[in-house]
Amino acid sequence: MVEPGRDMKFDDLEAKMRPYETASDRCVPPGMFMVARVDGRGFTRLTRARGDLEVPFDPQVRDVMIATTDHLMNCGFHVTYGYAQSDEISLLFRMDEATFGRKLRKLISVLAGEASAKFTLLLGELACFDCRISELPNADLVVEYFRWRQEDAARNALSAHAFWALRKSGESASAAAGKLGGMGLADKHELLHAFGVNFNDLPTWQRRGTGLYWERYEKDAVNPRTGEVVQALRRRMKVDFELPMKDEYAVFVRQMAARALDAD
C-alpha cells in the first residue's frame, strides 16, 4: 500500500478511486422493457416568470415539449415511443437498447441533461428536468404504465382548467386551490360547466397528451444505376395530437411495445 502523501502512478490512482465512483452503478438486465420518465422541475415558477404564456396550457410550451421529445428520440438512443404531457416526457426504449451498457447512472443523467439543454435553448428560459427509469418485465406493464400517465394527464388538465376558471373569476390562488382540494372529478367537471366549459370539448392534446413514434412512408428516389425513378421506403417522426384513450389506447401502446421488440 502506498503511504499517504507519496506520489502515486495514474493507474494506481485509477484503481483506488474508481470503485468510489461506481459503487452504486447498476445495469438494467436484458429482457426488460425500459421506460424513462423525464420530468420538469419548477415549471409553475418558470411559466409564471415568463408572463406571456397562456394558462393553463400554452401552445408554445407544448411545441417546445414536443421538440424536446423528438430530440431525446434522436440523440443516440433507440426509442420506439415518446409521450409528452404537461411538463413530463415518457420514452419507451427498444428492447435491444444497449447504450452505456444499459447503465442506469448514465442513462438517467444523460437524458435529464439532454432534455434540460434542449428545452432551455428552445424556450429561452433556464429549465431543469430530472429522470427516472422503470424496468418492466412484460408488455402488460408497459401498457399499464402509459395508461397511468395518460390518466394523470387528464386529471391534471381537469384540475388546471378548474383552477384557472376560478382565478379568472377573481379568486386568489390560495382560495382557488382550497376550493379544489376537496373536490372529486365529477365536482370539477360541474365547476367547469358553470363557467361554460365542457372538458370533453377541450383540445385532445391537453386532455390526453401527445404521442411521437416512427412511421414508414414511400418517397420518390432515383436508382443510381439505371436513373429510373423508384419508390423508396423511408422513416419519419409522427406527432400524434389525437391519441385514443382507455382500451383503445391500451391497444395502441401494445403495438408500440411490439415494435420495441422488433430490432428492425
pLDDT string in tens for the chain (264-residue length): 445 555 689 989 989 998 888 888 899 999 999 999 999 999 988 887 788 899 999 999 999 999 999 999 999 999 999 999 999 999 999 999 999 999 999 999 999 999 999 999 999 999 999 999 999 999 999 999 999 999 999 999 999 999 999 999 999 999 999 999 989 999 999 999 999 999 999 999 999 999 999 998 877 777 888 888 777 778 899 999 999 999 999 999 999 999 999 866
Residue 113: CB atoms within 10 A of its CB come to: 13
Distance of CA 255 to the CA centre of its chain: 18
pLDDT, residue 6, reads 58
CA gap 181, 202 in Å, rounded: 22
CATH topology of domain 33-150+200-208: Alpha-Beta Plaits (3.30.70)
Q: Who contacts 71 (Cβ-Cβ below 8 Å, separation ≥6)?
A: 114, 115, 118
Q: Which amino acid is at 258?
A: A
CA gap 255, 234 in Å, rounded: 20
pLDDT, residue 41, reads 94
pLDDT, residue 29, reads 96
DSSP H helical ranges for 73-183: 104-123, 139-168, 173-181
Q: Who contacts 82 (Cβ-Cβ below 8 Å, separation ≥6)?
A: 69, 70, 72, 73, 89, 90, 91, 92, 211, 212, 213
| DSSP letter (8 states) at residue 146 | H
Per residue in 14-53, is it b (16+ CB within 10 Å) or e — as a string?
Answer: eeeeeeeeeeeeeebeeebbbbbbbbbeebeebbeeeeeb
pLDDT, residue 70, reads 98
